[in-house]
Amino acid sequence: MHFSANVEKLKPSATIAVSTLAKKLAAEGRDIINLSAGEPDFDTPAFISGAAIAGIRDGTTRYTPPAGIPELRSAIADRLSERSGCTMDPDGVVVTAGAKQALFNAIFTLFGPGDEVMIAAPYWTTYPDLVMIARAEPMEVFGDQANDFKITPTDLERCVTDATRGLIINTPCNPTGAVYTLDELGALAEWCRDRGVWLLSDEIYRSIHYAGDGAAPGILSLPAESLGPHVLIDGASKSFAMTGWRIGFTYSDVEVTKKFSALQSQITSNSATPSQVAALAAFGGTSAADASLSEMGETFRRRRDLVCRRMGELLPGVPFVEPGGAFYLFFRVDGFFDHQVTNATEWCSRLLQEEGVALVPGAAFGDDRWVRMSFATSDDIIEQALGRIASSVGAASTS
C-alpha cells in the first residue's frame, strides 16, 4: 500500500508498544510487573476531577478558542510567572491536547525539509519521530555518561552543521532523570541564541524534582538576554496525574503563539473543554493544588530513594543515573549480554518472558545498552521487580 512521504519513517511509540505487550501477557493470565509506562500511578486529585464534573453539569461542553479558555491561559501564565520570577503573558500560552501536541505544534511550525534538529540524547522516544513527521532530520547529540548524559555547548559544537535549526532538550529528563542546573541551561540557551537556533525545552517533569523544595530549574528563569528564539513545553499529565485528560501547553513569543494556534485550529480545534476546566483547577494556584504536588512529590522522592538503595544492594556495580527528577531509573545492562542476548531489546524481551518484568529497552531512547524502569508504582512492586531482575541476571551469568 502506498502512503505519503509524511509518514514514510513513522513507527508506533516504542514505549507504548512494550506496555501494550505487557498488558496482553497480563490479560493471558501471566503474572506481569509492568514498569514500562510513563505515567503516575496516582488517581487525578478529586478537586480536579470534581471541577470537570461540575463544568460538564453546568454545560461547559462547547468549543473553546483554539489556544484555550482565557482563564486557563491566564492561570498557566501566573504559575509560570511565580516559578520564573518574571511576568509571563497569557497570550504566549497555547493549551494543547497533551504535551505531545505542544511538541508537534512547535516542531511542525518551526522545522521542515532540509532542516536539522538536534536532540539531546538519550531522548524521549517521540522527539525524532515528530521531527521526521515535519520531514526534517533528527540529529542525536549525546552528553557524557559521567555528566548524567547532560549535553554542553561543546557537544553541540561537535554536531552543529549549516542546516541546524533547532535543539530539543528535556529537563528533568525522560529516560535518565537528569536535571540541568540553571547555569547549564544558560550555557545551552546562549549557544542557541548566538547560532540563531530554536531552543525547545520540554519541562513536563519540572514539578517532580528531588533537590530542594521547588520545581526543577527551567529556561524561563534565565535572564532575558540569555534567551534567543525559544519554546517552553509543559503540561498537566505528569505533575497532576492527568495523563488521560490530555492537557499540555506551550509558552512562546506571541507571534509564534498565533501560528501554533492557527495550526491547532485546523487540526484539533481545542483541547477537550472538560479537560480544560479540570486543568483550570490544577493550575489555579490553590492550596489544594500545592498540597497535591507536594504529596505526590514526597511519594516519588521516597520511591527514588528506595530504588537507588536497592539497586546498590541487589545489582551492585550496575551503572545507573541517580534521578534528580521524573520517575525513571535508567540503568546499563550490557554487562549481562551473552551469545544469545546482544542488546537491551533482547535483554528486555527475555526479562519479560522469563521473569514477567516489563522495562523499556534503550533502543527507544537512542542507546540499546541501557534500559528504563519506571518507579511510579508501590514500594512493594519496586522491591519485587528488582528482586526478579536480580534473579534473572544471576541465572543469565551462570548459564
Q: Which residues contact ligand PLP by CB under 6 A?
A: 38, 98-100, 124, 170, 174, 202, 204, 235, 237, 243, 248
Question: Closest CB to ligand PLP among 20 and 384?
Answer: 20
Report the residue number, 241 or 315, with the smaller CB distance to ligand PLP: 241
Shortest Cβ 157–ligand PLP spacing (Å): 25
C-alpha cell at 296: 505526590
CA-CA distance, 116 to 130, in Å (whole number)? 12
List Cβ neighbours of 388 (8 Å cut-off, separation of 6 or more). Answer: 33, 351, 355, 356, 357
Residues with Cβ < 8 Å from 126, sequence gap 6 or more?
13, 100, 103
- By beta-carbon proximity to ligand PLP, the closer residue of 40 and 90 is 40
Minimum distance from residue 94 beta carbon to ligand PLP (Å) = 14
Q: Record the cell numbers describing residue 304, joined without a space.
A: 527514588
Helix 254-267 × helix 98-110 angle, to 10°: 110
Nearest residue (beta carbon) to ligand PLP: 98
> In a 3-state reduction of DSSP, which class is residue 272?
coil
Q: How far is the CB of 354 from ligand PLP (least distance, A)?
A: 27
How many Å apart are CA 382 and CA 33, to the nearest integer? Answer: 9
DSSP letter at 14? H
Cα–Cα distance measured from residue 238 to residue 327, given in angstroms and rounded to the nearest whole number: 10
Please calculate the CA angle 341-120-211 and round it to the nearest 5 degrees. 95
The residue among 84 and 126 lying less far from ligand PLP, judged by its C-beta, is: 126
Cβ-based nearer residue to ligand PLP, 55 or 248: 248
When the beta carbons of 207 and 237 are compared against ligand PLP, the nearer one is 237
How far, in Å, CA of 13 to CA of 28, rounded?
23
Nearest approach in angstroms of CB 68 to ligand PLP is: 14
SS3 197: coil
How far apart CA 306 and CA 312 sit, in angstroms, is 10
Q: Rank residues 118 and 315 by Cβ distance to ligand PLP and give the closer one.
A: 118
Q: State the minimum distance, in angstroms, from the CB of residue 173 to ligand PLP.
A: 7
Smallest distance from ligand PLP to CB 172, Å: 9
Residue type, 257: T
Residue with smaller CB distance to ligand PLP, 137 or 202: 202
User: What's the min distance (Å) between Cβ of 178 and ligand PLP?
Assistant: 12
Strand-pair category, 164-170 with 116-121:
parallel
CB of 119 to ligand PLP, least distance (A): 11
Least distance CB 126 / ligand PLP (angstroms):
7
Contact by Cβ (8 Å): 88, 218: no
57 φ/ψ sector (left φ>0, alpha ψ -120 to 50, else beta):
alpha
- Is residue 355 within 8 A of residue 396, CB to CB? The reply is no
Non-local CB neighbours of 108 within 8 Å, separated by 6+ positions = 130, 133, 134, 263
CB closer to ligand PLP out of 66 and 98: 98
